[in-house]
Amino acid sequence: MTDKTASDILRIAVAQLNPTVGDVAGNLVKAREARADAARQGADLVLFTELFLAGYPPEDLVLKPAFLKACERAAQDFAGDTADGGPGVIIGTPLKRKSGTHNSIIFADGGKILAERYKLDLPNYGEFDEKRVFQAGPEIQGPVNFRGVRLGIPICEDIWGDVGVCETLAESGAEILLVPNGSPYYRGKVDIRQQVVIRQVIECGLPIIYANQLGGQDELIFDGASFAIGSDKTLAFQMSQFEEAVNVTTWKRNRAAAGAQNGNNSEGWVCSEGPMSKIPEKEEADYRACMLGLRDYVNKNGFRNVVLGLSGGIDSAICAALAVDALGEERLRAVMMPYRYTSKDSLADAEDCARALGCRYDIVPIFEPVEGFLHTLTQLFEGTKEGITEENLQSRARGTILMAISNKFGSMVVTTGNKSEMSVGYATLYGDMNGGFNPIKDLYKMQVYALARWRNTHVPPGALGPSGEVIPNNIIDKAPSAELRENQTDQDSLPPYPVLDDILECLVENEMGVDEIVARGHDRATVTRVEHLLYIAEYKRRQAAPGVKITKKNFGRDRRYPITNRFRDGG
């Protein structure tokens, strides 16, 4: 039975915040500010996200004893804050104990740490590599009594697998489950999370609060979208996606409701008050993920501004729009670098794009450096046919100029290759691949077009850029071209992008075999050629800048193929 002195109302604040990996002192400041905010809103308890004090994922920082000590000191200091009689706290931190180094939470109230809980199910797939640095908790630990309410605290993956943590906590008397998470974004992830939680609610019969981290960390985007599923399997509250928030939710004890449906508890808890934010769909979600990822990468790494090559093509145009939306027009420098093959349309389109965005726009012709390279190499290249080598010299001259601007003015170079190009190696090492970060690295070409059309009719929340058409329609409508030779188009070298993108999605995201892809209606020779190009471009991707993860399987953390690789499914 429930403690008769327990309150029938519990106000739980969910702190959906943007920590920085390694900035333990800064993260503690954010936590203190959030707790003060929650206190002003009347919260009894503040739930923070997974490894909040360390930032998530901390990776091999966890192997440094000094880092672990800094995190534990911060946790103890934060626990001491609760002596003021304000809200209790649940906050994530790494802890080194006799049983190992654990992905943990501390539960503090009244100036003391009341309990520690350790993650049991350590993920070791896709972007996760926790078994490298953490040890699993030794056993499932029971609920914590907080002011007369028994709270279970599984940590992230503990509710995704089949280890039975939620069911065991319910059997141990838990009344509500509070789950701190570091769950990265990919397309459709919100629905997947909710289905995971609904499955656990069905198993344990308890309401589950799912608190998720926000912010960009290298290639990963944490999108927030924290929520709860009630014991009736319906959405109890929904926080915003891609936005920081501290929302207080009110839970009331229903002393009659749960007894009939849940043999583990004689009372149940119902959320009577909480946010119901709308979750953005498709293009908006992807665009906002790219924007957040670029903003956090630039700001968290201390760059004052960014520079990119604005070619008059779709990829550089959308990257320019993302940069202005993420950072503001004054922090983007766009550079057009024409050569003899640059069309008048491209010159006009690049200028129109820069004008629409309001950013600085410079023109730096590359005729002299390219001709200088060609002259220098005349004797070595004598008797050879002009071709891709000479084309790549143009790209490398542009890359060198951008890096010179970066070195001189401290600007980070934004590189602009899309996933279709990165997949098949349609990019030049030490040329257009130069850069510090790529916001569209995980978007196929047709998705780039879709986002450009969406941005021309929408301004995403939090964007610093203008409304209206920011990517000229001529850029969207014209045939894509690298303009490295006369009358060149991408389709001279590649299948049409709708065909190429579908084949690549089959090969990369779905790991489909050649026969399966051909059965979808694709030409076998085209499929085997694309598969070959995908494999031989691995060495380029290993040297590429990091970029925002949008799909379920991005290049980098999710897809780790060998560079030396002779396997071909196509024969």
Q: Which residues are catalytic?
A: 50, 119, 156
The reply to whether 392 sits in an annotated binding site is yes
The reply to whether 312 sits in an annotated binding site is yes
Beta carbons of 153 and 107 less than 8 angstroms apart: yes
Q: How far apart are CA 347 and CA 336, in angstroms?
A: 8
The reply to whether 205 sits in an annotated binding site is no
The reply to whether 432 sits in an annotated binding site is no
The reply to whether 309 sits in an annotated binding site is yes
The reply to whether 7 sits in an annotated binding site is no
> If DSSP codes are grouped into helix, strand and coil, which group holds residue 150?
strand
Q: Which residues contact 474 (CB under 8 A, 6 or more apart)?
A: 345, 348, 349, 352
One DSSP character per residue, 100-162 reads: EEEEEEEEEETTEEEEEEE--S---STT--GGGT----SS----EEETTEEEE---GGGGTSS
Q: How far apart are CA 104 and CA 126, in angstroms?
A: 21
The reply to whether 216 sits in an annotated binding site is no
Q: Which residue matches tokens 């000590």? A: 69
Q: How far apart are CA 77 and CA 27, in angstroms?
A: 12
The reply to whether 125 sits in an annotated binding site is yes
Beta carbons of 262 and 206 less than 8 angstroms apart: yes
The reply to whether 310 sits in an annotated binding site is yes
Q: How far apart are CA 6 and CA 147, in angstroms?
A: 6
The reply to whether 20 sits in an annotated binding site is no
Q: Which of 81, 86, 116 is nearest to 102 (CA)?
A: 116
Helix or strand (DSSP H, E) at 155: none
Q: Which of 284, 269, 333, 288 is nearest to 306 (CA)?
A: 333
- Give, as one character, the DSSP assignment of residue 241: B
The reply to whether 445 sits in an annotated binding site is no
Q: Which residue matches tokens 């499914």? A: 569
Beta carbons of 4 and 148 less than 8 angstroms apart: no
H-state helical runs in 48-137: 65-81
Q: Which residues are annotated as a binding site for L-glutamine?
A: 125, 183, 189
Q: Which residues are annotated as a binding site for ATP?
A: 309-316, 416
Q: Which residues are annotated as a binding site?
A: 125, 183, 189, 309-316, 392, 416, 421, 540
